Structure 1
């Protein structure tokens, strides 16, 4: 029998073998040697970053990162580091502010004549490219030869947003990603995905980001990720809401002024920029690429509905960590220049989108009836292989460049819209929802004394819940609604949310139950579905007989119900239920969503 030490040694050897072999499982690598390699500091440079010391094969820990940034902070008058929140495990979420004018307060940066760029890394902590690229860029700005970048813009840099996930680090985080050697975890310490949290604000990280956006009012927001999925030649893929969104002028500015310059800068440095890529068949791109319509629970679409120019970077996971970090550096450097050079046009676009009329708002988009034109796609050759294990076919990537024409499948067709009321009213007892709206920065009036109002409310009829939680909450699979006016008396602390405000569209998305990111669909009003008062049968029987004797119209309706629904006629429970619903004893608040519309 093996000893405990022998077993432990054997287990360690197996783990080590798996770690070494994991990279061997990945598709063949296309060699790369871009000009951006010159951005890497020399080994003797006193300001070499921890990642560069490893040859950009490793990324520093939370403590190592913050220690290096604090050292940079002490050496430069243009940097200040500020805590923006505390994680679920008690770690500080830090933000680096960079300003040549030494503007470091929210008031100074939000009112500066220079644009303000916010870029964050590690919202999914295993996808950490932005942290190392940001450290290199800040080094070159503050102690290198790129101080002139601060003539273009002021910067906010969050090196690690999901700090707890970052410290849940191991060599076994993302088997489909080429480095770094040790990676953090996708979700936070309570297993919530921060990039599904922008509307519901359940996580410390996104609560911190919402406050930064509200207080600092940035002009461009960049969220840096790494992909999953298929192989292709592009190394830096990124996107924004181009069509089917809430900020058309901003989308036009990003497409016309920003994207061509950033793409050219990446190409000049040996990178291959591309759009966000999602294979229509889930495997390869032979059936096309889907341009998804994301809801505002995601970073870049949350920015879109706030009229904040927002970009989602998805570096390609199958490219080496070094290549991805350098591509991110080039992207960020050019982003600073492009925003600075076209700031006046950007401000005009933001203003135009904020002032657009709000008569109705699309709450759901779907696919176009036919695909858009085919586009040239820089693919990697693949073949279908029959698995000896399962007998099914799977895609094997061959590591050889290929150019294909593939359909572009757009998901920007309006499917469902809602009219926009003058205002919404939320009773004080739903304070959790009120507080979330405040965190978003939505303007509201607060009642100081009771007020009687006649408002329109939605009532839930038939509904079905999902079978398991999503992001810790029970959402709806399906439901149908009725809308009716009701007189209510709201107590002090209740709020009126007008829709004629800068964040009016966001208010509609959160308030209207048809919206997939409404507080209703996220489950914050689920308690309205519980019935807490009932009527006993021995009371129902004589009451029903009295009701039928006194109300011939009721008797006629009942007989019609019996005739048209055989199952109803055979169900005493449903018959009693039907009569109970005709009485004033039924809970008048049951299934009524507590958001009143003022028209």
Structure 2
């Protein structure tokens, strides 16, 4: 019996081992009801799972943010090479996707989670990464993402809850790329310079008019982009993106910015992104930039799907056009090193427009239930498709000749720090010295009456150039323009530029006079100066004849003489950065 039992046990099949559960790679968006977005914690947790499961994905901390939480970067590289220099040497094109700069506009956050997963799991998509590397910032404004609510996006149709536009310091990070008040922006600058991407995308949701489109697109303003890149973008890249989205039934339009009452009243106006904005900053380094703007009134699911399809199309187009894109960037880099004239200010050319077929809704009025006055509404029962003008040509208003170098006193450490973060190479003077060059005196400027993103912005800056020899100290910075960051340097260190460091108030202490005089003492000194210098007396009398108010003001006359004398401090209104010619 015992032997029979043993034989019977040996012949019976053994119990099957427990089956390994198949990982569930659905994202929080997919697991929800179509109107929900991920939280910051769930988003980072999902990428951690992906990075642990797939050697093609790396998740790393890329600096700190104002929230105290780290900024994360996700890299998708098929061969497991995550070194930017090595990948550039292999000829890989880099597509850089940033999400959640305004966490109340979270489509890109959810779409990029789907994208990273699909590009490692699906063979057809993997092939497109043969010569393309993805760099993704899952959530840029971490503090805003943590400040979750359901009400601040008043005009928006979902999701159910979302983050807040301001970051932990209540800064709009899409105005902070040049001034870099936030730790977020400083971390971004270092990450951007590390990767030096070919194409950059910033994902958003729009406000504004109602129309048929689910997505609108801001492309780098063509006149601001280097001509080689501008030609490539307009003739090859944009037609492929617009055509590809048409095939997917996500018809695209340029960003709906308009001067009239409705988009069709006077047409669309191109968006001029200055360097305070993400794509304005990236343009300074010959990176083609895009801002996707899904329409606030469309449901959340189609907004996510449109964003996903655009990003996927952009990757496949970059793969198909890798050689042309690389050649355009190489040409831009080479020619930028030789460029002598740079534009500091632009103005829309209202005499030039192209015709664009726009899909809109008729704007009508009816009495307001609140005020009783006529109010605008868009009639979705009255769609139209018609040609409207699109004004996207900008003309230079201010230009400057490229200097050989700038000399920056070390006293302006905040400026030096920002230059370093943006990849600027500087050398320090090894000894006290005198350098000949061209300096500026600030002749006039206007200052905003209210703060804007933590600063009182200057505009309308006028300068008086003066050739002079200035003393500099050991440790001051000599900044050659013979480097890839030349355009960045010019648009930050030339005070007339729209988003220069002077415009943002980094040099405001030079605007205040530190010494003055007591009038009863200076009266005798002024009289002596006028007696001793006949030419000065002649100028003084001419000024009195030309300006009755001046002639009637004893204080104005004393001040005039003081400013012509050696007693007046030479650093008042003197811009501290010297141009070496």
- Deviation of 1:248 after TM superposition, in Å, equals 2.0
| 1:120 matched to 2:98 | yes
Matches within 5 A, 1:455-494: 455-494=437-476
Q: Match of 1:209?
A: 188
| 1:330 matched to 2:309 | yes
| 1:65 matched to 2:17 | no
- Deviation of 1:292 after TM superposition, in Å, equals 2.4
| 1:49 matched to 2:30 | no
Q: Match of 2:563?
A: 581
Q: Match of 1:196?
A: 175
Specify the SS of the correspondent of 1:183. coil
Deviations for 1:136-173, whole angstroms, at most 9, x for unmatched residues? 11122234454333324111111100010111110102
- Deviation of 1:477 after TM superposition, in Å, equals 4.0
- Deviation of 1:369 after TM superposition, in Å, equals 4.0
Pairwise CA RMSD? 1.8
Distance 1:423 1:125 in 2: 40
Q: Match of 1:19?
A: none
Matches within 5 A, 1:341-380: 341-356=320-335, 357-380=338-361
Which of 49, 62, 86 does residue 108 from structure 1 map onto? 86
Q: Match of 1:89?
A: 67
Deviations for 1:531-588, whole angstroms, at most 9, x for unmatched residues? 1111112321111221222222222222222222121122222111111112111110
| Counterpart contact for 2:212–2:359, Cα < 8 Å | yes
Q: Match of 2:413?
A: 431
Greater Cα offset, 414-423 or 58-67: 414-423
Closer, same or farther: CA 479–248 of 1 in aligned 2, 3 Å: closer
Query: Which segments of 5 or more consecutive residues in structure 1 lack a partner in the other structure?
Result: 1-43
Distance 1:375 1:136 in 2: 33
Deviations for 1:229-272, whole angstroms, at most 9, x for unmatched residues? 01111112213224221322222222233223333332333322
Distance 1:463 1:152 in 2: 49
Q: Match of 2:529?
A: 547
Q: Match of 1:279?
A: 258
| Counterpart contact for 1:110–1:218, Cα < 8 Å | no
Distance 1:405 1:270 in 2: 19
Which of 505, 520, 539 does residue 538 from structure 1 map onto? 520
Q: Match of 1:528?
A: 510
Greater Cα offset, 453-462 or 282-291: 282-291
Which of 261, 269, 273 does residue 294 from structure 1 map onto? 273
- Deviation of 1:108 after TM superposition, in Å, equals 3.1
Distance 1:497 1:187 in 2: 34
- Deviation of 1:391 after TM superposition, in Å, equals 5.4
- Deviation of 1:446 after TM superposition, in Å, equals 2.0
Q: Match of 2:126?
A: 147
| Paired residue total | 556
Specify the SS of the correspondent of 2:265. coil
| 1:318 matched to 2:300 | no
Distance 2:270 2:76 in 1: 34
| Counterpart contact for 1:465–1:474, Cα < 8 Å | yes
Greater Cα offset, 415-424 or 254-263: 254-263
Distance 1:239 1:474 in 2: 27
| Counterpart contact for 2:463–2:496, Cα < 8 Å | no
Distance 1:159 1:282 in 2: 37
- Deviation of 1:52 after TM superposition, in Å, equals 0.9
Greater Cα offset, 187-196 or 478-487: 478-487
Specify the SS of the correspondent of 1:101. coil
- Deviation of 1:486 after TM superposition, in Å, equals 2.1
